[in-house]
Amino acid sequence: MAKRTHTISVRVNAGEYATLDARRDAAGMREMGAYVRQAVLAQHPPYAVVPAANRETWVALARTASNLNQLMAHLNAGHLPGTPDPRSLHALLMTLDEEVRTLRLALLGVAPEKSGDDAPGGGR
């Protein structure tokens, strides 16, 4: 890699700096200059680090996504998972739907309601 000998200065306001700082932190980078250089030169910054507050939810979401991928692979191959009883498939899909709703709410910091609605007015 060639030695960097040129300096470019850019002035930002407090809000712009806060945005850059948050993005730099989310990318798991320590140096602002390295983050800005990668962003400007369209290089891919390191993968974002999942905040500690969201790690449990992230793992649960990965588990649900894996289950859904396995189900879709079985269906695409023309096989029903488990027993060929359509009620079993319906129950599995309802369980996955409920898990996804619960995870979406958890990411928002909201406890699921008993009715199953995940947004005011029952919208998704």
The answer to whether the pTM exceeds 0.85 is no
φ, ψ (nearest 5 deg) of residue 69: -60, -40
Closest C-alpha to 102, from 55, 60, 52: 60
> What's the pLDDT at 118?
44
Same domain, 80 and 39: no
Quick count: other Cβ atoms within 10 Å of Cβ 12? 11
The secondary structure of residue 77, as a DSSP letter, is T
Same domain, 39 and 75: no
Domain range for 61 is 52-122
Domain total in the chain: 2
Residues 75, 114, single domain; the answer is yes
- Over residues 19-60, the pLDDT tens digits come to 888 888 877 788 999 888 888 887 665 555 667 777 777 788
**Is there a single domain that holds both residue 84 and residue 115?**
yes
Residues 38 and 88 in one domain: no
- Is the Cβ–Cβ distance between 57 and 110 less than 8 Å? no
Residues 32 and 60 in one domain: no
